[in-house]
Amino acid sequence: MHSLVARIATVLTAAFIAATAANAQSDSGPPASAISRQPAATVALTPSTPTTRDPAGSKSTWEAKDTGLAVGLAVTLFLGVMNAFANFRMSRRTTFINTVTSQRIKWIEQLRQDVSSYAGLTFHWVSTDLRDEVKRQELLQEIDRLQHVIRLRLNPSGEEDRKIAHYLAEIPKHTDRPEVISALLEDLTAATQRLLKEEWDKVKKESQHGPLSTRA
């Protein structure tokens, strides 16, 4: 975009310079060599001869000046419009990048909170003998809610995302084996750390080069 603007501005500027040079040449009068070749008698009579301005020549000189001024104004207007358009596009791009980056940062923080809450509540559920049935049901409902929320935040085509989804599906199958659930929770935490690291690297690249991708 900027190279195209520069090329067009160069062409218009050259046209303006050419028009100005032509205007200056028309105002300078006949060449000195032509005056030197005039007969002596003609030159002697020239001061006493009344001079008249050619209306046609004056009109053509005025038109040349007007053309040069018009070209200059056109160049200035064109450069101003293109500069405003370039600034508008840059402003929209910056706004879009900032929006995508801020949303990705929110996603990272929310996933971290959800996985940590899920892991903590699940470990508490399998390692604690809850005799209060009401509290037990409330705890199970919260664990189930977090499980579904985490899965909805994942990208089905992502490698680490699929691993997290696998651990979430395996954990409820081993409620009677605390040691297996503990190991699965460790695997879940490690996979989440790797995923968050990948996403944070994307945030840093997006802030410099624009959006790289969108999550499903």
Band the pLDDT of 143: cuts 50, 70, 90: very high
pLDDT of residue 120: 94
Give the mean pLDDT of the chain. Answer: 75
Residues 111 and 198 in one domain: yes
Say if residue 73 is in the same domain as residue 127: no
Any domain includes 216: no
Using DSSP, state whether 158 is helix, strand or coil.
coil
**Domain, as residue range, for 166:** 98-209
The more confidently predicted of residues 5 and 160 is 160
What average pLDDT does this structure show over 171-177? Answer: 89
Same domain, 11 and 34: yes
pLDDT greater than 80 at residue 181? yes
The predicted pLDDT at position 41 comes to 43
14, 82: one domain: yes
Q: Are residues 181 and 112 in the same domain?
A: yes
* pLDDT tens digit sequence for 24-69: 555 555 544 444 444 444 444 444 444 455 555 555 555 666 676 7
pLDDT of 77 above 50: yes
Q: What is the dihedral of CA 89, 90, 93, 95, to 10 degrees?
A: -110
In a domain, 203, yes or no: yes
Query: What are the angstrom distances between the C-alpha of 120 and each of 31, 76, 112, 142, 182?
Result: 98, 66, 12, 11, 10
Question: Tell me: the pLDDT tens digits for 89-118?
Answer: 766 666 666 677 788 889 999 999 999 999
Total of domains in the chain: 2
Mean pLDDT, residues 149-163 taken together:
94
Say yes or no: 146 and 113 in one domain: yes
